[in-house]
């Protein structure tokens, strides 16, 4: 007998008729011989409604009381669902977060799950009942009600599936799966049959609204198979699992995030530890940073730009204003009319020219790129918010995401990850399920799987390029002519509307890229700097960006060893930095010590 977790989102339980339909699905699953745990959201737009009630009273309602308020939405649904099931002749029992023993930390409004005690659920299931659990909520050690953040019922569902070792977690929703991008914005977006955890993690955190990104962290960590499907049809949806849909495609999806705000700290002294202080201030305030562009410095000063979610912008500004003087930086810049378009796909690690194709697509529509940040399977460009929809459509079209990709195992490999990269993976060979032993004390704790050292990279920085549409497209067009795999691209716009672009390439290509860069410098009147002595350190895992302390711990560890970080990239799955080659091995060792399993 298997156990299936079924999660029903707000629209799938918006009225009693739909609640009955959901109850029937659960009963069908029991008839197939399975035990069923249902996780439900608040009905329809009830959470929004409750928030607006509080906002009628005050702009900044008390965080504890907000959780008390919002948790009532789910409590209504669980009771109605149990009543519906009994009416249909099936025994059922509803539980609140506290009753199922979902223990969280004390961060109201975005609490993280620490542990789940399954005893009570298992007893009810063994007695033949369907268990109905309230999504999105838990309790802290003092029995204060907490909530997991908007969309958090997905996370409850996958976490319960993990704790109960469920066969599958079905996410019933109002769309019939995960799409290559939001079909409301791009009408020819295509439904994916499957998508890998890693890709989904990046897409979800880059603004694709389908799934709460923290639920994918759980899924990956505990090896939970997730099936996203429509509650209104019988069609198969999208399976989120270890394998990608196609290894041949450069990309599997694109996303647009319009709730971004950019902050720039100008004139940061380029010394070990300074970036660390900047980011640890944000981490202390529990503000996740999104894109970071710290360009290599000139004259001992560097500009650090980063984006945060607009909800966190006011707080981030406050924190940064205090920090600017403290670290001896010059001033703070602020721009909230920005949006971020991202392209995600495992295939891009194996193909050259992916970034250039994306930049080209944006250029052809006249979209100016303000900032670029990449991880191994993601490229994000920050653009003006007015250009958002146009940019998303352009990227979707350029990568033909509407077309079914060819399947097959071998990509047109043009080098791939550099041969010299060494991985210090202390969890290698450990199946995702086994990770539960390591992390069971804190279920939602960040997982670091490996610290990779790549000593085969060289850095190229182009300074003082004119900031206008087509710049990145042109630069990477020229680089791509040599079929060089470009890694770790960071672009930021510095003073007087001049842009700097930094990227890394395989060291063997440095001479070739030097002559291309000289051509670019002649054309643009900019100057280039090359460093063939860099080492790239990448911390891999999941939840690295949203667990706000991780990046600052990484910088802290390096700065304690007096290692200066020249370039930073950060995503949910990897945090990468460039350091001097001489510090590569010792830095890797220090990071492994810092993040080794028993210390997380």
Residue from 12, 47, 71, 542 that binds ligand ASP (CB under 6 A)?
47
CB of 556 to ligand ASP, least distance (A): 33
Q: Which residues contact 143 (CB under 8 A, 6 or more apart)?
A: 98
Q: Is 152 in the site for ligand ASP (CB under 6 A)?
A: yes
**Which one of Mg ion, ligand ASP, none interacts with residue 383, CB within 5 to 8 A by kind?**
none
Q: Which residues contact 234 (CB under 8 A, 6 or more apart)?
A: none
CB of 495 to ligand ASP, least distance (A): 41
Q: Is 73 in the site for Mg ion (CB under 5 A)?
A: no
Sort strands 194-196 and 226-230 into parallel, antiparallel or unpaired.
Answer: unpaired
CB-wise, 153 or 418, nearer to ligand ASP?
153
Q: Is 96 in the site for ligand ASP (CB under 6 A)?
A: no
CB of 209 to Mg ion, least distance (A): 7
CB of 85 to ligand ASP, least distance (A): 20
Residue 54 exposed, middle or buried by CB count within 10 Å (0-12, 13-18, 19+): middle
Q: Tokens 């990509």 label which residue?
A: 411
CB-CB contact of 341 with 380 (8 Å): yes
Residue from 4, 5, 8, 9 that binds Mg ion (CB under 5 A)?
9
CB of 110 to ligand ASP, least distance (A): 11
CB-wise, 47 or 370, nearer to ligand ASP?
47
Q: Which stretch binds Mg ion (CB under 5 A): 4-12, 297-305, 405-413, 441-449?
A: 4-12
**Which one of ligand ASP, Mg ion, none interacts with residue 317, CB within 5 to 8 A by kind?**
none
CB-wise, 185 or 512, nearer to Mg ion?
185
Q: How many CB atoms lie within 10 A of CB 288?
A: 21
- For ligand ASP (CB under 6 A), the number of binding residues is 12
Q: Is 44 in the site for Mg ion (CB under 5 A)?
A: no
Q: Restricting to residues 17-46, which ones interact with ligand ASP according to CB under 6 A? A: 41-42
CB-wise, 136 or 555, nearer to ligand ASP?
136
Residue from 6, 94, 146, 153 that binds ligand ASP (CB under 6 A)?
153
Q: Which residues contact 545 (CB under 8 A, 6 or more apart)?
A: 205, 288, 289, 290, 551, 570, 571, 572, 575
CA distances (Å), origin 148, targets 22, 93, 536: 23, 23, 35
Among 245, 275, 595, 552, which Cα is nearest to 427's?
595
Q: Which stretch binds ligand ASP (CB under 6 A): 99-107, 147-155, 387-395, 531-539?
A: 147-155
Handedness of CA 385, 389, 394, 400 (dihedral sign): positive
* Residue 151: φ, ψ to 5°: 80, 10
Q: Which stretch binds ligand ASP (CB under 6 A): 113-121, 144-152, 535-543, 563-571?
A: 144-152
Q: Is 288 in the site for ligand ASP (CB under 6 A)?
A: no
CB-wise, 158 or 539, nearer to ligand ASP?
158
Which alpha helices (DSSP H) does 88-196 contain, by range? 97-100, 119-126, 153-163
CB-wise, 171 or 451, nearer to ligand ASP?
171
DSSP state of 585: H
Query: How many CA within 13 A on the CB side of residue 424?
Result: 21
Q: Is 151 in the site for Mg ion (CB under 5 A)?
A: yes
State the binding string over 383-412 for ligand ASP (x if CB under 6 A, else -). ------------------------------
CB of 71 to ligand ASP, least distance (A): 9
User: Can you tell me the distance from the alpha carbon of 4 to that of 216, in angstroms, rounded to the nearest whole number?
Assistant: 17
Q: Is 295 in the site for ligand ASP (CB under 6 A)?
A: no
**Strands of 442-550, DSSP E:** 447-454, 457-466, 487-493, 498-506, 527-531, 534-542
Q: Which stretch binds Mg ion (CB under 5 A): 5-13, 25-33, 327-335, 457-465?
A: 5-13
Assign 433 to helix, strand or coil: helix
CB-wise, 310 or 436, nearer to ligand ASP?
310
Residue number with the smallest Cβ distance to Mg ion: 151
CB-wise, 137 or 492, nearer to ligand ASP?
137
Which alpha helices (DSSP H) does 196-269 contain, by range? 197-205, 213-222
Q: Is 177 in the site for Mg ion (CB under 5 A)?
A: no
Q: Is 10 in the site for ligand ASP (CB under 6 A)?
A: yes
Q: Is 150 in the site for ligand ASP (CB under 6 A)?
A: yes
CB of 217 to Mg ion, least distance (A): 16
What's the token pair of residue 547? 């667990």
Q: Restricting to residues 99-138, which ones interact with ligand ASP according to CB under 6 A? A: 135-136
**Which one of Mg ion, ligand ASP, none interacts with residue 307, CB within 5 to 8 A by kind?**
none
Beta bridge partners of 569: 576
Q: Is 273 in the site for ligand ASP (CB under 6 A)?
A: no
Q: Apex CA 514: angle with CA 510 and CA 520, to 5°?
A: 140
Q: Which residues contact 520 (CB under 8 A, 6 or more apart)?
A: 462, 474, 475, 478, 526, 528
Q: Is 207 in the site for Mg ion (CB under 5 A)?
A: no
**Which one of ligand ASP, Mg ion, none interacts with residue 197, CB within 5 to 8 A by kind?**
none
CB of 357 to ligand ASP, least distance (A): 35
Sort strands 145-147 and 194-196 into parallel, antiparallel or unpaired.
Answer: unpaired
Residue positions counted in the chain:
600
CB of 154 to Mg ion, least distance (A): 6
Characterize 469-495 residue by residue with b for buried, 16 or more Cβ atoms within 10 angstroms of its Cβ, and e for exposed.
bbbbbbbbbbbbeeebbbbbbbbbbbe
**Contact set with Mg ion (CB under 5 A):** 9, 151
Q: Which residues bind ligand ASP (CB under 6 A)?
A: 9-10, 41-42, 47, 73, 135-136, 150-153
């Amino acid at each position: 007998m298997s156990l299936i977790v079924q999660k029903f989102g707000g629209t799938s339980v918006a009225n009693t008729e739909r609640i009955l339909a959901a109850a029937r699905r659960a009963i069908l699953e029991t008839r197939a011989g399975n035990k069923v745990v249902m996780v439900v959201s608040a009905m329809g737009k009830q959470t929004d409604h409750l928030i607006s009630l509080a906002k009628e009273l005050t702009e900044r309602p008390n965080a504890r009381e907000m959780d008390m308020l919002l948790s009532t939405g789910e409590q209504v649904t669980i009771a109605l669902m149990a009543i519906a099931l009994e009416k249909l002749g099936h025994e059922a029992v509803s539980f609140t977060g506290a009753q199922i023993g979902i223990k969280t930390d004390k961060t109201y409004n975005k609490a993280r799950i620490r542990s789940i005690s399954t005893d009570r659920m298992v007893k009810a299931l063994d007695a033949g009942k369907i268990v109905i659990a309230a999504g999105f909520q838990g309790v802290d050690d003092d029995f204060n009600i907490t909530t997991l953040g908007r969309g958090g019922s997905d996370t409850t569902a996958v976490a319960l599936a993990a704790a109960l070792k469920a066969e599958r977690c079905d996410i019933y929703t109002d769309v019939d799966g995960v799409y290559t991008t939001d079909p409301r914005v791009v009408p020819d977006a295509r439904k994916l049959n499957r998508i890998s955890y890693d890709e989904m993690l990046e897409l979800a955190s880059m603004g694709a609204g389908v799934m709460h990104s923290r639920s994918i962290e759980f899924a990956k960590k505990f090896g939970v198979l997730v099936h996203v499907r429509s509650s209104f049809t019988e069609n198969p949806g999208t399976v989120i699992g270890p394998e990608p849909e196609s290894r041949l495609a450069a990309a599997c999806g694109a996303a647009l995030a319009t709730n971004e705000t950019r902050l720039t700290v100008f004139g940061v002294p380029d010394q070990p530890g300074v970036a660390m202080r900047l980011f640890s201030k944000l981490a202390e305030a529990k503000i996740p940073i999104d894109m970071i562009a710290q360009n290599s410095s000139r004259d001992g000063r560097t500009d650090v730009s980063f984006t945060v979610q607009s909800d966190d912008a006011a707080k981030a500004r406050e924190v940064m204003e205090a920090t600017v003087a403290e670290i001896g930086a010059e001033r703070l810049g602020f721009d909230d009319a920005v949006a971020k378009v991202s392209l995600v796909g495992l295939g891009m690690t194996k193909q050259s020219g992916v970034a250039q194709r994306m930049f080209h697509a944006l250029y052809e529509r006249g979209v100016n790129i303000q900032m670029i940040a990449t991880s191994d399977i993601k490229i994000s460009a920050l653009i003006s918010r007015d250009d958002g929809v146009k940019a998303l459509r352009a990227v979707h079209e350029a990568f033909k995401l509407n077309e079914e990709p060819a399947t097959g195992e071998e990509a047109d490999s043009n080098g791939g990850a550099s041969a010299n990269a060494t991985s210090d993976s202390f969890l290698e060979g450990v199946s995702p399920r086994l990770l539960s032993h390591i992390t069971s004390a804190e279920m939602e704790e960040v997982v670091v799987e490996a610290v990779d050292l790549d000593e085969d990279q060289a850095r190229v920085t182009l300074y003082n390029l004119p900031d206008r549409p087509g710049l990145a497209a042109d630069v990477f067009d020229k680089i791509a002519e040599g079929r060089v795999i470009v890694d770790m691209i960071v672009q930021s716009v510095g003073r007087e509307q001049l842009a700097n672009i930094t990227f890394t390439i395989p060291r063997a290509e440095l001479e070739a890229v030097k002559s291309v860069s000289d051509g670019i410098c002649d054309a643009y009147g900019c100057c280039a700097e090359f460093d063939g002595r860099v080492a790239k350190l990448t911390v891999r895992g999941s939840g690295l960006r949203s667990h706000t302390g991780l990046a600052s711990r990484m910088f802290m560890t390096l700065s304690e060893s007096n290692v200066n970080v020249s370039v930073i990239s950060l995503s949910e799955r990897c945090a990468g930095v460039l350091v001097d080659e001489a510090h590569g091995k010792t830095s890797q060792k220090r990071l492994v010590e810092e993040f080794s399993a028993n210390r997380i």
